Amino acid sequence: MARKTIKVDYLARVEGEGGLKVTIEEGVVKSAQLNIFEPPRFFEAFMRGRHYTETPDIVARICGICPVAYQMSAVHALENLFGIRLTGQLRALRRLLYCGEWIESHVLHIYMLHAPDFLGYEGAIDMARDHSMLVRQGLEMKKIGNDILTLVGGREIHPINVKVGGFHRAPRKNEFAPLIEKLKWARETAIKTVEWAAELDFPDRQRDYIFVALKHEEEYPFNEGHITSNHGLNISAQDYDAYFSEQHVPYSTALQSRLRQCGSAYLVGPLARYNLNFDQLSPLTKELAHAAGIAGSCRNPYQSILVRALEVVYAFDEALSILINYEQPEYSFVDVKLKAGRGFAATEAPRGLLYHRYELDQAGLILDAQIVPPTSQNQASIEEDLKEFIGGFMDLPEEQLQHKCEQTVRNYDPCISCATHFLKLEIDRV
Amino acid sequence: MSRASQPPRLAVWKFASCDGCQLSLLDCEDQILTLATAIEIAYFPEARRASVHGHYDISLVEGSVTTQHDAERIQEIRGRSRFLITIGACATSGGIQALRNFADVKEYAALVYAHPEYISTLDVSTPISDHVKVDFELRGCPINKGQLIDVLSALLIGRRPITPAQSVCVECKLKGNICILVSQAVPCMGPVTHAGCGALCPSYLRGCYGCFGPKETPNASALSNRLEEIGMNNEAIRRLYSTFNVNATPFREEKERHGT
């Protein structure tokens, strides 16, 4: 029996430590495993006994790539418990901060992690030798995303300005002035990025995914909305646990999420948001999506680079509109009235739905915490993609086939540091 | 410092961490391409698929040691590295995951995992310097990317890096900030915390929370006395020292002085 194994011991150009093993028999993919060997850090355990005010600073450290997402899900879960709902400029500032993170994270992935797969390079620095302008414009856009994070959050990695109830300090209007011109340039460059990405050579592969993302009546989702799917799901974050389960499967490492009722894998992230919320994109973004030929729907995960590029245009568009309308609020936060109980929230991290739940006692100390990162939720879907798609690439030479497997994983921009919840796995060598 | 006429080889290694400190290198948007002309980025899996094996002139090490495998891996990396620089609170002090050092790891694993028996992890999270000789430590959670560029430039040129070990208070004074601890009785760890962030938190009207770890010769008990005067109880003071640098000796001792 012709049997071969494609093994990638250490996946490159993803955040964190993971490997990959695909077993092929008679030209058919028998199994595909995403192995996460990132050591556990036990955040949910040591959150117990911490004061709720410490939460945004601590959970940020789960991920250096998307700390804002952790801060946002945490403060919204706690505000859900305290009965606080931010409005006006404070709400807008939170959206602005999230725009900065989407831009920084998506542009990093588009230009530095994913583009080299399409253009045939080992990494962005190698790619810059032949495509200097392309890499430079990516770096410049990423920097402007980081500028937003730095101004609103204090710094780009592990921002310090977020607190339950608002911000420690609300920026003055004139602090934003230099950013507005930069954002206009960046939006134009983001448009060019979409046009460039639309011309890439995509493998023609589609799957009928269950997409799960937040949905909001008036806007493309960042911090608010119901958890919805293209299969009729429509719940609030409070009911997350009733509909989704985390499984600790013996062969694998990180916990894997599945839909509780049918046991199916599902997909979160740019592709899910895009398919469920296309109508809420800005007119400019929609127009570009039409021109790129994926208006309204995209089920090809290799095109996620194009969807990310569209979300970057949207994020620059949205950031610009928030900045133009910004007035410094009178107070940078609303007062919290402490109360015991449970709070829930899901927000849209760059990589997808990020669910947090906290239970507090009367003194404001955390009794219990649950955090479900997007990469955990996407793991089962990544493996299904490998099983379904890799069979079609069998005529490729070994090295290219391995590369194709890696690219299939990188479609998801997996953040393994986040997903760790993990354990160590022994790999069977065939 | 390079091998005859070749650019020095750089490797970036990850241990238990959030990836934020190595991301700082990619966040040097204005410098990274120039840097790549002066240094060969030979091993950096987060950014590059191919890797150059063998020896490295500079190894940047992110993260703390939390598994037996990693305890062995750092020895091997040390053997292949001319200069080994640790970057960030995890690598220099053990990071926030060092909170396990004061708890029962089995209990932690049971809280997070359905099958804790699959978990293979050490009871403690330790800094790289507990395992091998470290040539330079760069502080911060995360590191300051300006300091990262300075350290790399210093190595290339052959000078000392400029990363003063003074307190955050000095940075506040240089910035002209009004002291929030004195004027508003906001708990602030600035007096005992290593400089490097540019007095970030006080500039945003909140107290420093010590993410750069202890300054040289900190007087933590004097700060704690002041914090008690402004109304903090033992438990709150203990939590203040129990974050990203909890395993750094002066912070750990001060935490332990306020109960277990």
The full set of domain ranges for chain A reads: 42-406
Is the Cβ–Cβ distance between A388 and A206 less than 8 Å?
no
| Nearest CB partner across the interface for A168, out of B103, B119, B205 | B205
Is B45–A13 a contact, with Cβ atoms under 8 angstroms apart? yes
Q: Residue B66 is part of which domain span?
A: 9-157
Question: Which chain B residues are within 8 Å of A57, Cβ to Cβ?
Answer: 209, 243
pLDDT of residue B4 exceeding 60, the answer is: no
Amino acid in the structure at residue A140: E
Q: Pick the residue from chain A with its C-alpha nearest to B118.
A: A423
The minimum CA-CA distance between B118 and chain A, rounded to whole Å, is: 6
Mark A357-396 as b/e (b = at least 16 C-beta within 10 Å).
bbbbeeebbbeebbbbbbbbbbbbbbbbbbeebbeebeee
Residues B153 and B178 in one domain: no
The minimum CA-CA distance between A156 and chain B, rounded to whole Å, is: 9
| Nearest CB partner across the interface for A157, out of B24, B67, B236 | B24
Q: Pick the residue from chain A with its C-alpha nearest to B100.
A: A46
Question: Which chain A residues are within 8 Å of B108, Cβ to Cβ?
Answer: 42, 45-46
Residues B49 and B100 in one domain: yes
Cα B138 to its chain centre, rounded Å, is: 6
Whole-angstrom Cα distance, residue A149 to residue A151?
6
- Kindly give the pairing relationship between strand B9-14 and strand A352-360: unpaired
Whole-angstrom Cα distance, residue B239 to residue B241?
5
| Nearest CB partner across the interface for B20, out of A12, A157, A423 | A157
Residues B113 and B195 in one domain: no
Is A67–B20 a contact, with Cβ atoms under 8 angstroms apart? yes
The dihedrals phi and psi of B244, each to the nearest 5 degrees, come to: -75, -15
Is A41–B66 a contact, with Cβ atoms under 8 angstroms apart? yes
Is B24–A45 a contact, with Cβ atoms under 8 angstroms apart? no
Largest CA distance in chain B: 61
Q: Which helix (H) or strand (E) holds A247?
A: strand A244-247
Is A142–B96 a contact, with Cβ atoms under 8 angstroms apart? no
- Kindly give the pairing relationship between strand B56-62 and strand B9-14: parallel
Is B16–A143 a contact, with Cβ atoms under 8 angstroms apart? no
Domain boundary among B137, B157, B177: B157
Read off the DSSP letter of residue A393: G
Tokens standing for A34? 């995403």
Our count of domains for chain B comes to 2
E strands present in A316-416? 341-349, 352-360, 366-372
Collapsing DSSP states into helix, strand and coil, what is residue A367? Answer: strand
Percent of chain B's residues with pLDDT above 70: 97
| Nearest CB partner across the interface for B45, out of A10, A40, A61 | A10
Q: What CATH number is given to the structural domain containing B77?
A: 3.40.50.700
pTM, whole model, 2 decimals? 0.95
Angle, CA A124 vertex, CA A123 and CA A128 arms, to 5°: 125
Residues B45 and B110 in one domain: yes
Give pLDDT, residue A430: 33
Question: Which chain A residues are within 8 Å of B119, Cβ to Cβ?
Answer: 40, 423-424
The minimum CA-CA distance between A366 and chain B, rounded to whole Å, is: 13
Find tokens 């438990």 and name the residue: B235
Cβ neighbours for B20, distance < 8 A, ≥ 6 positions apart? A61, A63, A64, A65, A67, A157, A158, B88, B141, B142
Find tokens 């800094």 and name the residue: B127
Tokens standing for A406? 């890696």
Is the Cβ–Cβ distance between B15 and B128 less than 8 Å?
yes
Residues linked to residue B43 through DSSP beta bridges, in sequence order: B11
Is A248–B113 a contact, with Cβ atoms under 8 angstroms apart? yes
Residues B51 and B96 in one domain: yes
Whole-angstrom Cα distance, residue A115 to residue A125?
11
Give pLDDT, residue A250: 59
ipTM of the complex: 0.95
Is the Cβ–Cβ distance between A37 and A422 less than 8 Å?
yes
Residues linked to residue A6 through DSSP beta bridges, in sequence order: A22
pLDDT classification of B260: cutoffs 50, 70, 90: confident
Is A45–B112 a contact, with Cβ atoms under 8 angstroms apart? yes
Give pLDDT, residue A249: 66
Question: Which chain B residues are within 8 Å of A62, Cβ to Cβ?
Answer: 18
The minimum CA-CA distance between B217 and chain A, rounded to whole Å, is: 26
For B24-39, write each residue's pLDDT tens digit: 999 999 999 999 999 9
Question: Which chain A residues are within 8 Å of B46, Cβ to Cβ?
Answer: 12-15
Collapsing DSSP states into helix, strand and coil, what is residue A70? Answer: helix
Question: Which chain B residues are within 8 Å of A122, Cβ to Cβ?
Answer: 48-50
Question: Is B76 inside a domain boundary?
Answer: yes
Question: Is B101 inside a domain boundary?
Answer: yes
Q: N- to C-terminal Cα distance for chain A?
A: 12
Question: Which chain A residues are within 8 Å of B41, Cβ to Cβ?
Answer: 125
Is the Cβ–Cβ distance between B215 and B192 less than 8 Å?
yes
Residues B147 and B180 in one domain: no
Give pLDDT, residue A399: 83
Question: Is B162 inside a domain boundary?
Answer: no
Residues B69 and B111 in one domain: yes
Is B32–A157 a contact, with Cβ atoms under 8 angstroms apart? no
User: What CATH number does the domain located at A42-406 have?
Assistant: 1.10.645.10
Q: How many CA atoms lie within 13 A of B112 on its CB side?
A: 27
Q: Pick the residue from chain B with its C-alpha nearest to A117.
A: B49
Domain boundary among B107, B136, B157: B157
CA distances from B75 to A332, B16, B52, B70, B72 (A): 49, 16, 19, 9, 5
Q: Pick the residue from chain B with its C-alpha nearest to A150.
A: B200
Predicted confidence pLDDT, tens digits, chain A (430 residues): 577 777 777 777 777 777 888 888 887 888 888 877 777 788 888 899 999 999 999 999 999 999 999 999 999 999 999 999 999 999 999 999 999 999 999 999 999 999 999 999 999 999 999 999 999 999 999 999 999 999 999 999 999 999 999 999 999 999 999 999 999 999 999 999 999 999 999 999 999 999 999 999 999 999 999 999 999 999 999 999 999 998 876 555 567 889 998 899 999 999 999 999 999 999 999 999 999 999 989 999 999 999 999 999 999 999 999 999 999 999 999 999 999 999 999 999 999 999 999 999 999 999 999 999 998 899 899 999 999 998 888 888 888 888 888 889 999 998 776 665 322 222 232 3
Whole-angstrom Cα distance, residue A423 to residue B120?
7
Cβ neighbours for A140, distance < 8 A, ≥ 6 positions apart? A186, A189, B29
Is A14–B46 a contact, with Cβ atoms under 8 angstroms apart? yes
Is A62–B18 a contact, with Cβ atoms under 8 angstroms apart? yes
CA distances from A78 to A102, B87, B109, B151, B242 (A): 23, 32, 25, 40, 21
Tokens standing for A357? 């739940």
Domain boundary among B94, B128, B157: B157
Question: Which chain B residues are within 8 Å of A112, Cβ to Cβ?
Answer: 26, 47
Whole-angstrom Cα distance, residue B37 to residue B30?
13
The dihedrals phi and psi of A124, each to the nearest 5 degrees, come to: -65, -30
